[in-house]
Amino acid sequence: MSITWNSIWETHPDVFIVKEWKEYPEDKKRASRLPLQYAYFMGGETTLRVGIIASATINREDEFLLAGLLWGHRLSNGTKTVIYYVAPDFSTSFLTGLSKVGGIIDARAVYWREKLMPSLYPIPEKQLFSRVRYPMGEDRPNWKRWGESLNPVARQQLVTVNNFFSQLADRRVRIVVKNQTINIYWGNYEIAEVRKKGKKFELNSKVKWLKSSEQMQKWQKQGWVDASASLNPEFSATILEILDYLESLQKACQLRPHDHLALMLHNGEGALKMLWGSPWAWPWLPKDRSETAVLELEEWFYFQGNGQLSVVCPIFDKSLLKAARSILLASVLERSLLLVSAKDELGNLLVWDGRVHWLTTPGKEEELRRSYSWLSDVSRFPIWTLPEDWQENGIDALNCQSNHFSQSLMQKGYL
């Protein structure tokens, strides 16, 4: 769809603080590495730069948010800059995310309604700062509730399956219960699945991550509970072989970096335990398909200690995009009821301090730090870096790159 944005700006001069907009051409967008799917306009004077980023449709709000910040950074060159986001609609998390933008860039949102007159509607500042929280997600079922729809025999067999995998917790096996499946993981690697089939269930090993089709076929086994209330030996032995294999990859430092880190974070030992406490399992599932943020937040890591809940977001690649996405997801946590009644395993309430800890590698730190020029409160997103040799020697020398604390925890005597 072709839109003459300039004519829209001209018919709504009262919406913006400047006039006579100039569109940024396609060749310059490419040269500046700005996403091409959006329209960019510039205005203002030497002491105040003003820009517009506009789109008729928004597929990914994190990309839209980042594109506007990049546009503001391109315009500002250290000068105070105002960026207007123009789109048909904005989510609550996007508007809350804009309220976190500060420093040299001031971000504002404007609704565009194609078939209405006027067609532009600035969103009042007070709407950005609304403190009303909204419900989101539904409780994740436990093993007992998951098995309530099964027949009595299958429910008893499910207890055997639960016991088998629970006994492997010391080998860092973790269990994720969903509505129709129970998925068994070692780090990021799914090794088994329990799936409902009417009033019964099916149990299978899962090795889709293997590159060797021969090995995949060898370890693709079905499990069942026999007359002695035990899992069939072939399935049990296969699961143990899979664990042996994965553990050997870890010892040889052959896991992908983000998979290796996920294993450490799920385990929560050493510096992680001293710093943030014990791992806290994400207790939510989306109620419907629109609640994609609930699934995205499940990919983060949560820790509980001394009544506090800490939130950790690993960033290995696409640093600026991941930073923009984390701002939006932090806004979801802030504006929703997801963490309001968070509790530890004893039922005690946990309090989230509002911070999202960015965990990255030294090579990505500087790129990630660019986000600080866009944030009104950088203390809400502290940057932590892993040591260079973390895959071989662990992460006890974790470093916080915040201005007030830059030395390693080991050097400061905290560990």
Run of H or E including 381: none
The alpha carbon dihedral of 63, 65, 68, 70 has a sign of negative
Tens of pLDDT, residues 1-12: 457 999 999 999
CA 183 distance to own-chain centroid:
20
| DSSP states along 219-233 | H--EE-B-TTSSB-H
Mean pLDDT for the stretch of residues 393-411: 59
| Confidence (pLDDT) at 408 | 36
Please tell me the number of Cα atoms within 13 Å of 202 on its side-chain side.
Answer: 8
Tens of pLDDT, residues 125-178: 655 556 678 999 999 999 999 999 999 999 999 999 999 999 999 999 999 999
| Confidence (pLDDT) at 104 | 87
Q: Considering only CA atoms, which of 112, 93, 96, 102 is closest in space to residue 52?
A: 112
The yes-or-no verdict on residue 344 having pLDDT over 70 is yes
Looking at mean pLDDT, say which of 262-276, 303-317, 355-369 comes out highest.
303-317
Mean pLDDT for the stretch of residues 68-97: 93
Confidence band, pLDDT 50/70/90 cuts, at residue 197: very high
> Rounded to an integer, what distance in angstroms lies between the CA atom of residue 53 and that of residue 254?
43
> Rounded to an integer, what distance in angstroms lies between the CA atom of residue 71 and that of residue 84?
10
Mean pLDDT for the stretch of residues 183-209: 97
Q: Of 230-234, 399-403, 404-408, give the lowest mean pLDDT range.
A: 404-408
Mapping DSSP to helix (H, G, I), strand (E, B) and coil, where does residue 409 land?
Answer: helix
> Rounded to an integer, what distance in angstroms lies between the CA atom of residue 112 and that of residue 90?
10
List of residues 6+ apart from 6 with CB closer than 8 A: 21, 23, 41
What's 340's DSSP letter?
Answer: T
Mean pLDDT for the stretch of residues 187-194: 97
Question: Dihedrals φ, ψ of 129, to 5°?
Answer: -105, 20
The yes-or-no verdict on residue 402 having pLDDT over 80 is no
Q: Considering only CA atoms, which of 5, 20, 30 is closest in space to residue 50?
A: 20
Confidence band, pLDDT 50/70/90 cuts, at residue 404: very low
The yes-or-no verdict on residue 276 having pLDDT over 50 is yes
> Rounded to an integer, what distance in angstroms lies between the CA atom of residue 186 and that of residue 47?
55
* Furthest-apart CA atoms within the chain: distance in Å: 82
Tokens representing 61 are: 């709000």
Q: Considering only CA atoms, which of 108, 145, 146, 148 is closest in space to residue 129?
A: 108
Q: What is the 3-state secondary structure (H, E, C) of the chain?
A: CCCCHHHHHHCCCCCCCCCCCEECCHHHHHHCCCCCCCEEEEEECCCCEEEEEECCCCCCHHHHHHHHHHHHHHHHCCCCEEEEEEECCCCHHHHHHHHCECCCEEEEEEEECCCCCCCEEECCHHHHCCCCCECCCEECCCHHHHHHHCCHHHHHHHHHHHHHHHCCHHHCEEEEECCCEEEEEECCEEEEEEEEECCEEEEEECCCCCCCHHHHHHHCCEECECCCCCECHHHHHHHHHHHHHHHHHHHCCCCCHHHHHHHHHHHCCCHHHHHHCEECCCCEECCCCCCHHHHHHHCCEEEEECCEEEEEEECCCCHHHHHHHHHHHHHHHHHECCCCCCECCCCCECEEEEEEEEEECHHHHHHHHHHHHHECCHHHCCEEECCCCHHHHCCCCCEECECCECCEHHHHCCC
The yes-or-no verdict on residue 414 having pLDDT over 70 is no
| Confidence (pLDDT) at 373 | 85
> Rounded to an integer, what distance in angstroms lies between the CA atom of residue 410 and that of residue 407?
8
The yes-or-no verdict on residue 281 having pLDDT over 90 is yes
Residue listed under structure tokens 């880190």: 261
> Rounded to an integer, what distance in angstroms lies between the CA atom of residue 152 and that of residue 39?
60
**Residues above pLDDT 90, as percent of the chain:** 75
| Confidence (pLDDT) at 403 | 52
**Residues above pLDDT 70, as percent of the chain:** 94
| Confidence (pLDDT) at 399 | 81
Q: Of 144-153, 174-183, 361-370, give the lowest mean pLDDT range.
A: 361-370
Per-residue buried b or exposed e for 123-137, using 16+ beta carbons within 10 Å of the residue's own CB: eeeeebeeeeeeebb
Higher pLDDT, 407 or 122: 122
CA 367 distance to own-chain centroid:
18
| Confidence (pLDDT) at 407 | 37
| Confidence (pLDDT) at 406 | 38
| Confidence (pLDDT) at 45 | 86
Share the mean pLDDT of the chain.
91
